[in-house]
Amino acid sequence: MPTYKAPLRDIRFVMDEMLDFPAHYAQLPNGDEASPEIVNAILEEGAKFTEEVLTPLNQSGDAEGCQFNDGEVVTPKGFKEAYKQYVEGGWPSMTQDTRYGGQGLPQSLGMVLNEMICSSNLSWGMYPGLSHGAMDALLHHGTEEQKELYLTKMIEGSWTGTMCLTEPHCGTDLGLIRTKAEPLADDSYAISGTKIFISAGEHDMSDNIVHLVLAKLPGAPEGSKGISLFIVPKFTPDANGEAGERNGVQCGSIEHKMGIHGNSTCVMNFDNAKGYLIGEPNKGLSYMFVMMNAARIGVGIQGQGLAEVSFQNALAYARDRLQMRALSGPKAPEKAADPIIVHPDVRRMLLTQKAFSEGGRALIYYTAQLIDQVSAGGDAGKDADELLGLLTPIVKAFLTEAGFEATNEGIQIFGGHGFIHEWGMEQFVRDARITRLYEGTTGIQALDLLGRKILMNQGESLRKFTKQVHKFCQTEEGNSDMVKFVAPLAKLNKEWGDITMQVGMKAMQNREEVGAASVDYLMYSGYVTLAYFWAQAAKVAQEALANGTTETAFYKGKLATAEFYFSKLLPRTKSLVATIAEGGDSLMAMDVDQFGAGFEI
């Protein structure tokens, strides 16, 4: 059975040594709450909960899956009890608003816990995970009464939330939504329609489920401009605010999926269900974006968390498994063969996993600081919001692509045993596969990055980020130890702007050029962004080693991983530059009927 140990040393490296979280918290209005003692307690207790409670349920939850019986969903053995412990531990309220029963801690601490949850048991983590996005949407756009009624219960953890967008004919293109909302005399609405693929849409872990549903009012404008957002509770709250009468929303079935078997993915049928409008009519999509942006970062964390757990298990195996001798001669002559970790190709795979996981962690925690700053508001909050908008599709798509590659390498390191269910490595791949799809596929994130976030604001937010990278490179250019990192980083950072200009120019002639370049462009952006964080990690490690640290293995390992990243992963940007430069001609040349010419389907 695979194991998991929360990587607290590396988490502290990023929080304390790379990104100076104590100084970050000192700038926040609620930063006092995040004292070193509290942060430490959260890390220690979070590690204990995820290692001891969630990890043992991961493989059994995958094997057992969710059961569907006549509209009810039974979650795998132990899931319900683990959720109870999570609620008793006060975790759902940790970063929520104190006015509604929250503890008011900075969001970033929730994201650190989330990484541990995603590594230990992604399927379980999606039940409380979906609630977080729903709570954000309610906090920002709900009325005071709605917050009192729903948010308080969700913060307490006794009710959970969902996000109901997708319909059978409507996935990426939400403008196609058909679910209807008819106004009723009492200011509520009758919601009718079918939503599919609703994560945690029905389960047995909480007393009530609060669905946030996108639907159309009569006469609403066509397309995405005519979508409104509604609260549709499974049980309508009674006069005391407790779960009351059963509402007209039912789970019709659950999906049988490639991965995340322990999480229920539901068809939800709304049949004149009582719903309550959030905010103004026809503004639902913008409200839902509050939820979707948080969820996108959350999915990026899923990719990174799975890379981490796969790496931990592959590392243990590579140290233990004896096969063949090192090419340069025996490294463990007393044994029948050398451990496979001596072989360069196995090291390539392990280092790829480590580089993506630890580099991804730094990127996510930086993003977490931006989220804290946005919550704090003011001018700093506005700047942070712009950077956050730029980095969100990179976190979502690049880290899930990297997570999938890392978990796949995890199987490869195990050889044939990786393909066998019992070792648990194939589960990580199956679970990781969905992260590239939901919350907007990689293709859609790439269009968001290049089209909406960069070209539509004339590269302003990209310039803000590349300026920051440039400043770092300039500061370090006189440091001879850092040249091998900052020289290539500075070159790529400049090239990033140049490529953007080139694609932008081509797009003025032909808009298809944006779509043709976008995924390569996103991957390029991801590699350069991670290089910036690996260069910072290298600097901290070099300083610690120069100052005579006693943890030489940790810092030397960090430095060696940075060197690996720069020499073996970052050069992938060269082929991406070449494919971006080729443009869209070879993609668009073929007529649709030529694709399948020669066979009938």
Question: Which residues pair with residue 190 across a beta bridge?
Answer: 182, 274
Q: Are strands 235-237 and 243-246 parallel, antiparallel or unpaired?
A: antiparallel
Return the residue of 434, 523, 528, 540 that touches ligand FAD, per CB under 6 A: 434
- Contact residues for 446 (Cβ-Cβ < 8 A; gap 6+): 393, 397, 518, 519, 521, 522
- Asked whether position 584 contacts ligand FAD by CB under 6 A, the answer is no
Return the residue of 82, 154, 164, 535 that touches ligand FAD, per CB under 6 A: 164
Angstrom CA distances, 534 to 311, 341, 453, 547, 572, stand at 18, 23, 24, 20, 16
**Segment contacting ligand FAD (CB under 6 A): 159-167, 337-345, 494-502, 541-549?**
159-167
Q: Tell me the torsion sign for CA atoms 576, 580, 586, 589.
A: positive
d(CA 124, CA 433): 16
535 contacts 562 by C-beta, under 8 angstroms = yes
In terms of CB distance, is 31 or 76 closer to ligand FAD?
76
- Asked whether position 257 contacts ligand FAD by CB under 6 A, the answer is yes
- Asked whether position 438 contacts ligand FAD by CB under 6 A, the answer is yes
Q: What's the token pair of residue 265?
A: 């993915």
d(CA 395, CA 362): 11
Return the residue of 134, 139, 165, 342 that touches ligand FAD, per CB under 6 A: 165
- Asked whether position 163 contacts ligand FAD by CB under 6 A, the answer is yes
Q: Is 6 helix (H, G, I), strand (E, B) or coil?
A: coil
Length of the chain: 601
* Residue 441-480 contact track with ligand FAD, rule CB under 6 A, x = bound: x-xx--x---------------------------------
In terms of CB distance, is 373 or 525 closer to ligand FAD?
525
CA angle 339, 340, 343 (to 5 degrees): 120
Catalytic residue among 33, 426, 439, 513: 439
Angstrom CA distances, 590 to 153, 593, 596, stand at 55, 8, 11
**Position 199: which residue type?**
S
In terms of CB distance, is 101 or 443 closer to ligand FAD?
443
- Closest-by-Cβ residue to ligand FAD is 171
The alpha carbon of residue 395 and the mean position of all alpha carbons in its chain are separated, in whole angstroms, by 7
Taking the complex as a whole, the smallest distance from the CB of residue 160 to ligand FAD amounts, in Å, to 12
Alpha helices per DSSP H over 121-165:
122-141, 144-146, 152-156
Which parts of 497-526 interact with ligand FAD (CB under 6 A)?
515
Taking the complex as a whole, the smallest distance from the CB of residue 16 to ligand FAD amounts, in Å, to 35
In terms of CB distance, is 170 or 487 closer to ligand FAD?
170
**Position 543: which residue type?**
E
d(CA 561, CA 580): 28
- Asked whether position 210 contacts ligand FAD by CB under 6 A, the answer is no
Angstrom CA distances, 474 to 363, 467, 470, 540, stand at 21, 10, 6, 17
**Segment contacting ligand FAD (CB under 6 A): 59-67, 165-173, 220-228, 525-533?**
165-173
DSSP assignment letter at 398: I
**Nearest to 372, CA basis, from 17, 39, 28:** 28
- Asked whether position 198 contacts ligand FAD by CB under 6 A, the answer is yes
In terms of CB distance, is 60 or 441 closer to ligand FAD?
441
In terms of CB distance, is 171 or 248 closer to ligand FAD?
171
In terms of CB distance, is 171 or 459 closer to ligand FAD?
171
In terms of CB distance, is 164 or 569 closer to ligand FAD?
164
Taking the complex as a whole, the smallest distance from the CB of residue 589 to ligand FAD amounts, in Å, to 18
* Residue 213-252 contact track with ligand FAD, rule CB under 6 A, x = bound: ----------------------------------------
Taking the complex as a whole, the smallest distance from the CB of residue 163 to ligand FAD amounts, in Å, to 5
**Segment contacting ligand FAD (CB under 6 A): 43-51, 166-174, 501-509, 573-581?**
166-174
Catalytic residue check, 81: no
Return the residue of 85, 172, 458, 479 that touches ligand FAD, per CB under 6 A: 172
Binding site for ligand FAD (CB under 6 A): 163-166, 171-172, 197-199, 257, 265, 434, 437-441, 443-444, 447, 515
- Residues classed as catalytic: 439
